[in-house]
Amino acid sequence: MKVLVVGSGGREHALCWKLHQSPSVTQVLCAPGNPGIASVARCLAIAAEDIPTLLQCAQSEQVDLVVVGPEVPLVMGLADQLRSAGFAVFGPDQAAAELEGSKAFSKQIMQEAGVPTAAFEVHHNADEAEALIRRWGAPIVVKASGLAAGKGVVVAEDVETAVAAARDMLSGNSFGSAGAEVVIEACLRGEEASCLFIVSGDTIVPLASSQDHKALNEGDRGPNTGGMGAYSPAPCVTPAIADGVLEQIVRPVIATLKQRGIHFIGTLYAGIMLCDDGPKTLEFNVRFGDPECQPLMMRLQSDLGTVLLAAAQGTLEDVPLQWSDESAICVVVASRGYPAAFNKGESIKGLSDIEAQGATVFHAGTAMKDGQLVNNGGRVLGVTASAPDLAAARETVYQALSALRWQGAYYRRDIAHRALT
Ligand SMILES: Nc1ncnc2c1ncn2[C@@H]1O[C@H](COP(=O)(O)OP(=O)(O)OP(=O)(O)O)[C@@H](O)[C@H]1O
Ligand SMILES: [Mg+2]
């Protein structure tokens, strides 16, 4: 079959890489893709949010399956439009994508489904938000309800920080309409894990466990980013915890959506806090995590094309998932300065030496300029490797990274520390 992948990040590179290896897939297209993706897919210069042109492209290329990587086109309704035109699509409709697109909606569904999550209130008015924050006290969490590229959450250790964050969001200054509604939550403590599921109607298939590092700096300190690294499996997600997340969180949420006439097809990502009194849901995303997708794809042994097509067509129960026993790790290489301002257009070399040492380089924010590979975004590369155990995988990845020749590179040297200490 011919598959069109929408997106241009490390996640989409890992998906295209795996689809390219899938016996069921004859051709991979990617819109818009990036220079790394171009080695495993035919890239088409169409933005991931350009729904009319993507629809035309799916038609003219006669693709058999469309896989939507990022959340923005899903929340805009790309999957709905493709399905109406008769295409098999892996990715939820707009109504289901609201689980990620609106944190207020997501919390309401969690409440209705009776799943464990932090106590919350939704506010639209700054004075009322402030009154609640002062009543509850710190620590407290303030979230822009809409999409904010991983930057719309403030975990405030004191009341004034929380009040300032809520006022800033509600004024529209930092997040525009995404901040017009805020969710104020009780602060949970514990270790975090990502539990991903492939969902197709009533069929819910868990993926292998994984954990990411959102903080910029070593020791999980500093500002939050889109993700600085990830690994799989995550030892803190025991089989009992994984089962609890499936039965007590994901199944009830999917059932509650169904009662509202909303059918979920795609990846459901539950962000979980492992609290002393059991797992609690921090959030839902409606797509693969980036960078969690990279180690997951490295460990997946099944034919990804078959799995995603089956999910799109409602026959997922017939397709078991197989995972390698190995551990995989992805270290994100970012532009120095990210998530604040950084330079673009710096030359990046040494990638073939990295790969010669047994790692795979997934591209995210790269571009070609005058025939040279340069950085063109905040998160630039996802250097990924697998090995019989996590310590060996980490050794491979960091050893390989010593071959990177790019002055402006920044990466954490402690990815997976929580699983190894
Ligand atoms: N109730 C809470 N208590 C403590 N920490 C929280 C809480 N909610 C969120 N956080 C912290 O903030 C981070 C981001 O929150 P959340 O996952 O809701 O935001 P997001 O911007 O949608 O993230 P992502 O980019 O992963 O989708 C979480 O990973 C967690 O570390
Ligand atoms: Mg999210």
Q: Which ligand 1 atom is the nearest neighbour of the CA of 285?
A: 27
For residue 186, tell me if it sits in a domain.
no
Residue 103 to residue 85: CA distance in whole angstroms: 29
For residue 98, tell me if it sits in a domain.
no
Q: Is the shortest distance between the CB of 331 and ligand 1 below 6 Å?
A: no
- Looking at the fold, whether 148 and 262 belong to one and the same domain comes out as no
Residues pairing with 206 in the sheet: 197
Q: Please choose, from the candidates 35, 42, 72, the residue with its C-alpha nearest in 3D space to the C-alpha of residue 375.
A: 35
Q: How far is the CA of 10 from the centre of ligand 1 (A)?
A: 21
- Looking at the fold, whether 19 and 87 belong to one and the same domain comes out as yes
Residue 3 to residue 64: CA distance in whole angstroms: 6
* Residue 66 token pair: 């469309």
Residue 82 to residue 64: CA distance in whole angstroms: 11
- Looking at the fold, whether 306 and 331 belong to one and the same domain comes out as no
Residue nearest to atom 26 of ligand 1 (CA): 150
Peptide bond connecting 295 to the previous residue in cis, omega within 30 degrees of 0? no
Residue nearest to atom 11 of ligand 1 (CA): 155
Q: Is the shortest distance between the CB of 346 and ligand 1 below 6 Å?
A: no
- Is 223 in contact with 410 (CB distance < 8 Å)? no
For residue 18, tell me if it sits in a domain.
yes
Task: Tell me the pLDDT tens digit for each residue of 85-95.
Answer: 999 999 999 99
- Looking at the fold, whether 348 and 388 belong to one and the same domain comes out as yes
For residue 287, tell me if it sits in a domain.
yes
Listed residues 318, 343, 373: the one ending a domain: 318
Q: Is the shortest distance between the CB of 275 and ligand 1 below 6 Å?
A: no
pLDDT tens for the chain, 421 residues: list them: 999 999 999 999 999 999 999 999 999 999 999 999 999 999 999 999 999 999 999 999 999 999 999 999 999 999 999 999 999 999 999 999 999 999 999 999 999 999 999 999 999 999 999 999 999 999 999 999 999 887 889 999 999 999 999 999 999 888 888 998 999 999 999 989 899 999 999 999 999 999 999 999 999 999 889 999 999 999 999 999 999 999 999 999 999 999 999 999 999 999 999 999 999 999 999 999 999 999 999 999 999 999 999 999 999 997 889 999 999 999 999 999 999 999 999 999 999 999 999 999 999 999 999 999 999 999 999 999 999 999 999 999 999 999 999 999 999 999 999 899 8
CA 3 remoteness from chain centre: 20
Q: Is the shortest distance between the CB of 334 and ligand 1 below 6 Å?
A: no
What is the DSSP code (8-state) at residue 260? T
Look up tokens 């799995």; give the residue: 307
Outline where 159-288 has alpha helix (H): 159-171, 239-245, 251-259
Please tell me the predicted confidence (pLDDT) of residue 353.
Answer: 98
Q: Which ligand 1 atom is the nearest neighbour of the CA of 148?
A: 21
Phi (first) and psi of residue 405, to 5 degrees:
-120, 90
Task: Reduce the DSSP state of residue 156 to 3 states and report it.
Answer: strand
- Ligand number nearest CA of 99 is 2
Phi (first) and psi of residue 140, to 5 degrees:
-155, 155
Which CATH number fits the domain that encloses residue 332?
A: 3.90.600.10
Residue 154 to residue 168: CA distance in whole angstroms: 11
Helical (H) or strand (E) element with 32: strand 27-32
CB burial of residue 164 (10 Å; 0-12, 13-18, 19+)? middle
* Domain assignment of residue 173, given as a range: 125-180
Q: Is the shortest distance between the CB of 282 and ligand 1 below 6 Å?
A: yes
- Looking at the fold, whether 299 and 350 belong to one and the same domain comes out as no
Q: How far is the CA of 66 from the centre of ligand 1 (A)?
A: 29
Which CATH number fits the domain that encloses residue 262?
A: 3.30.470.20
For residue 120, tell me if it sits in a domain.
no
Q: Is the shortest distance between the CB of 95 and ligand 1 below 6 Å?
A: no
Distance set, CA 181 to CA 98, 125, 270, 295 (Å)? 14, 8, 22, 34
Which CATH number fits the domain that encloses residue 67?
A: 3.40.50.20
Q: Is the shortest distance between the CB of 214 and ligand 1 below 6 Å?
A: yes
- Looking at the fold, whether 205 and 304 belong to one and the same domain comes out as yes
Q: Which ligand 1 atom is the nearest neighbour of the CA of 187?
A: 3
Q: Angle at which helices 94-101 and 251-259 pack, to 10 degrees?
A: 130
- Looking at the fold, whether 59 and 28 belong to one and the same domain comes out as yes
- Looking at the fold, whether 28 and 61 belong to one and the same domain comes out as yes
What type of residue sits at position 120? F
Residue 8 to residue 18: CA distance in whole angstroms: 15
Which CATH number fits the domain that encloses residue 154?
A: 3.30.1490.20
- Looking at the fold, whether 314 and 197 belong to one and the same domain comes out as yes
Q: Which residues contact 62 (CB under 8 A, 6 or more apart)?
A: 2
For residue 106, tell me if it sits in a domain.
no
Residue 174 to residue 168: CA distance in whole angstroms: 7
* Residue 348 token pair: 């990046």
Listed residues 297, 318, 339: the one ending a domain: 318
CB burial of residue 149 (10 Å; 0-12, 13-18, 19+)? middle
Give percent above pLDDT 90 in the chain.
93
Q: Is the shortest distance between the CB of 271 and ligand 1 below 6 Å?
A: yes
What type of residue sits at position 47? A
- Ligand number nearest CA of 212 is 1
Q: Angle at which helices 251-259 and 103-113 pack, to 10 degrees?
A: 100
- Looking at the fold, whether 405 and 350 belong to one and the same domain comes out as yes
- Residue positions counted in the chain: 421
Residue 214 to residue 225: CA distance in whole angstroms: 5
Task: Tell me the pLDDT tens digit for each residue of 95-153.
Answer: 999 999 999 999 999 999 999 999 999 999 999 999 999 999 999 999 999 998 878 89
- Looking at the fold, whether 248 and 290 belong to one and the same domain comes out as yes
For residue 102, tell me if it sits in a domain.
no
- Looking at the fold, whether 297 and 202 belong to one and the same domain comes out as yes
Ligand 1 site-directed mutation target among 283, 288, 332, most atoms within 8 Å of CB: 283
Q: Which residues contact 406 (CB under 8 A, 6 or more apart)?
A: 333, 346, 347, 348, 349, 350, 375
* Residue 114 token pair: 């009776």
Residue 59 to residue 141: CA distance in whole angstroms: 45
